Chains A and B, each alone.
Chain A
């Protein structure tokens, strides 16, 4: 059984679709819980969209590499890109309790994926952003995220 896959993406929105099918096949082959697969696909959509929208202005040869790895007790998603330096863990969280009138349009994607992941690490080295999201497979689907979200309030 394949417990890891790695893909280098052409940075286009349409690439997210083919990637999501690969993640689903990987999840089915490894009998992963559907909510975990959903979270990985959601994270990929948010991260790649962010990179394409903000990350590659003026970059000649934009590249995003995605690795999904099944460790003994966690599902690990790593993205590496050669875009502008950007630390998603340093972004201020949106106010998810604000009334509708004061909700910004957008800005939620990073909040969602940081909340659902059990561990998020970022590093910048050799001109590349490397972000790692770990989702524990032993905990309930969103248990870790819920605790973190409440700590934040």
Chain B
């Protein structure tokens, strides 16, 4: 199953905005998009959660893969604009310790994260 992912660009980062639901049925499609961008040379990725209503561990797995790949490549991954109940899942999983999560996209800019 596919996932709609909007893309925007800031001065130095590519922003991905997955839309709706990121679960076991479309996590592979999301992984392909993210890893293609990293493979294409993107080093600063922001995943903006403002249009995402639901994420399961299959979706979180993709973010962990991306974070590891970017760390190896001296890049960075920042997550922003999460709804409270999603942020709680990231906290329970300890993901907030290994991937920066910011309130807004503005706060994810270098120097403010």
Contact = CB atoms under 8 A, between A and B. Distances in A.
Contacts of A115: 92
Given A13-B1, A14-B1, A112-B57, A105 B64 contact: yes
A106 B56 contact: no
Tell me what chain A mostly uses at the interface: helix, strand, loop, or mixed.
Answer: helix
Given A42-B89, A46-B56, A105-B65, A96 B94 contact: yes
A103 B92 contact: no
A121 B64 CA distance: 30
A141 interface: yes
Q: Of A39, A100, A108, A115, which is in contact with the most chain B CB atoms at under 10 Å from its CB?
A: A108
B93 A112 contact: yes
B58 interface: yes
B40 to A, nearest CB: 22
Contacts, number: 79
Contacts of B89: 42, 112
A14 to B, nearest CB: 6
B57 A34 contact: no
Contacts of B97: 96-97
Interface string B44-74: 0000000000101110110011011001000
A5 interface: no
Interface in A24-52: 34-35, 38-39, 41-42, 45-46, 48-49
Contact of A100 (B1, B56, B68, B84): B68
B20 to A, nearest CB: 10
Interface string A114-153: 0110000000000000000000000001100100010000
Interface of B: 1, 21, 23-25, 54, 56-58, 60-61, 64-65, 67-68, 71, 84-85, 88-89, 92-94, 97-99
Contacts of B98: 99-100, 103
Interface in A2-23: 13-14, 16-17, 20
Contacts of B85: 34-35, 38-39, 141
Contacts of A101: 68
Given A17-B23, A48-B24, 20 more contacts: A14-B1, A17-B1, A17-B21, A35-B84, A38-B85, A45-B23, A45-B56, A96-B92, A96-B93, A96-B97, A98-B94, A99-B98, A100-B64, A105-B61, A108-B93, A109-B57, A111-B92, A112-B93, A142-B88, A145-B92
B28 to A, nearest CB: 10
